[in-house]
Amino acid sequence: MTTDSSSIQKPATLSAQHLQKRYGSRTVVRDVSVEVKCGEVVGLLGPNGAGKTTSFYMIVGLVPLDGGSIVLDGTDITHLPIHERARMGLSYLPQEASVFRKLNVAENIQAVLELQVQGGKPLRKSEIAHRLDELLGELQISHLRDNPALSLSGGERRRVEIARALASQPKFILLDEPFAGVDPIAVGEIQRIVRFLRDRQIGVLITDHNVRETLGICDHAYIISEGSVLAEGKPDQI
């Protein structure tokens, strides 16, 4: 008995092709193409001024393109605003803290769950409570559920932010400088979280100045220089 290859479901793909960005007469991004599959961690790296952050923000939806295209699982999202991309499964975690500081950990996650719909209807309270408990357990923050967000360490805060992102059941999570300003212990913790996301078959795109820490968790990486892709491949090939 043979298996029809057309029936095998391919992983969802986030594809940015030939991105370009100009500010006046200055070309910041000349030609950048990046691809991320579900269940894969991809790094977008390069020195300051190389164009990596601008490329990343174009994929996120924070910066409009002057050329190129962005396709999410076969759908062109090039000109969609960031909130529409989020509805389609593209979640963005900024470098800055994105938790509600005056709410506790459980309330932070619950606030996102209450915005979710299932079958065109808001989630039932019992479903919200169930998903909340699941997320707290998966991110190993059940013991922090009643703690105010402002009391969390850097690593704990990141776990809550990841739980909030997962509450919307994304296909892809884009991490902006996840290793910036965290202590060595938190670096290892963030790396474990990223591996956890990959194990959940979520595609992860990371941009960061900490090359060694980022390459340590990447399946594939792109090196950006002078607005173009200088090199790409597996970390041990770059």
Q: Which of 32-36, 209-213, 228-232 has the lowest mean pLDDT?
A: 209-213
Amino acid at 90: L
Cα–Cα distance for residue pair 137/207, rounded to 1 Å: 27
Check pLDDT > 90 for residue 154.
no
Q: Calculate mean pLDDT across residues 68-84.
A: 96
Check pLDDT > 80 for residue 72.
yes
Predicted TM-score (pTM) above 0.85:
yes
- Residue 66, number of CB atoms within 10 A of its CB: 14
Distances (CA, A) of 162 to 9, 108, 143, 196, 227: 27, 11, 16, 10, 30
Check pLDDT > 70 for residue 28.
yes
Q: Calculate mean pLDDT across residues 35-46.
A: 97
Predicted local confidence at residue 103, as pLDDT: 95
Predicted local confidence at residue 97, as pLDDT: 81
| Domains assigned to the chain | 11-233 (3.40.50.300)
Above pLDDT 90, what percent of the chain? 71
Kindly give the pairing relationship between strand 41-45 and strand 203-207.
Answer: parallel
Contact present, 135 and 200 (Cβ < 8 Å): no
Predicted local confidence at residue 75, as pLDDT: 96
Which comes out higher in pLDDT, residue 194 or 155?
194
Q: Which of 45-54, 116-125, 126-135, 214-223 has the lowest mean pLDDT?
A: 116-125
Q: Calculate mean pLDDT across residues 138-151.
A: 94
pLDDT band at 3 (very low <50, low <70, confident <90, very high): low
pLDDT band at 184 (very low <50, low <70, confident <90, very high): confident
